[in-house]
Structure 1
Amino acid sequence: MKRFAQTLLIAIALFPGAQALAEATPIEVRKTNGCGCCLSWMNHLEENGFAPTGRDMFGDLLVRFKLDNGVPQRMVSCHTAVVDGYVIEGHVPTSDIRRLLEERPDAVGLAVPGMPYGSPGMGPEEDREAYDVFLIHKDGSTDIYSSYPEGQAK
């Protein structure tokens, strides 16, 4: 174990990118108990440098949490996450979450309304339906933040 720790310290010192991998970004996910797509999205987060923790909430409380945190009803999906002061609603790809955390807009956060097939946690990306990621402004308005075209089966 000591040798492993020494090797890890050397890797972090020699490769600056290794430090970022060693320090996963914490993100809290509010979800319903037993939701398979929520757990799959949390796996997507973990595989891409985040440290998700799940918190189960009953339906009405979860809906209230979404609305109280600025998610417009038309943007609702199955789970809601909070990361560094931003709300992430639904199956948002980690690349968009990273971009949000780098750009730091004055906004509520991001949303993928509904549950589009092929979005992270919702099936294979190469077979996905087209979907948009929306930036939620503090006044409740939204703009398209990024778009994902329909995927082609290989």
Structure 2
Amino acid sequence: MNRRTLLLLMMTAATGAHAAAKPAVEVHKNPWCGCCGAWASALRQAGYKVTLKDGDDLLPLKKSLGIPDDLQGCHTALVEGYFVEGHVPLDAIARLLAERPAIAGLAVPGMPKGSLGMGNDPKASYDVLALSVDGSSTVFQHVGK
């Protein structure tokens, strides 16, 4: 085996190990919601291990996590001790897991047009909010212009 082949094998192994390192994500969604499925598919394509949990009433889960009514989205995901509410983009989730801030989770309220799962428009503009345990929020990341 020459040096170039060995280097390529090492790079391939490192890439595979990095992809395998992504955590499991449990996505709670309504069974009839296509945008939630599209969001979950994007997570899966990015290497996350996604488990879908369909339910007709997600409000009890959202309430138990302390997600205020005005900050709720159409689906709720759980990943490594955090919640991810609504159409949160992949880079915000990656940043959350890399930085591990002392928050309860992230939220994109409502269903912003162009967000991940809602058309994936690069011109979309919305905020990703960080929610503290007490329910207060701050802007974690701005998407768009």
What TM-score bracket applies, with the shorter chain setting the length?
Answer: 0.7 to 0.9
Unaligned runs of 5+ residues in structure 2 are: 1-7
Q: 2:85 aligns with which of 84, 89, 107?
A: 89
Partner SS state of residue 126, structure 1: coil
- Identical positions, percent: 40
C-alpha contact 2:123 2:144 (8 A) present in aligned 1: no
Partner SS state of residue 122, structure 2: helix
TM-superposed deviation, 1:95: 0.8
User: What is the aligned-residue RMSD (CA, Å)?
Assistant: 1.7
TM-superposed deviation, 1:17: 2.8
Matched, 1:20 2:18: yes
TM-score normalised to structure 1 length: 0.83
Deviates more, 1:16-25 or 1:100-109: 16-25
TM-superposed deviation, 1:124: 3.4
TM-superposed deviation, 1:148: 1.1
Name the CA distance, whole Å, in 2 between partners of 1:74 and 1:33: 22
TM-superposed deviation, 1:127: 4.5
Alignment of 1:1-154 (within 5 A): 11=9, 15-59=13-57, 62-128=58-124, 130-149=125-144
Unaligned runs of 5+ residues in structure 1 are: 1-9
Letter in 2 for 1:17: T
Letter in 1 for 2:35: C
TM-superposed deviation, 1:14: 5.6
Letter in 2 for 1:112: V
TM-score normalised to structure 2 length: 0.87
- Closer, same or farther in 2 for the Cα pair 1:35/1:11, shift >3 Å? farther
C-alpha contact 2:122 2:144 (8 A) present in aligned 1: no
C-alpha contact 1:12 1:19 (8 A) present in aligned 2: no
TM-superposed deviation, 1:24: 3.7
- Closer, same or farther in 2 for the Cα pair 1:39/1:72, shift >3 Å? same
Name the CA distance, whole Å, in 2 between partners of 1:116 and 1:37: 11
Which stretches of structure 1, 4 residues or longer, exceed 6 Å deviation after superposition?
A: none
Partner SS state of residue 143, structure 1: strand
C-alpha contact 1:24 1:50 (8 A) present in aligned 2: yes
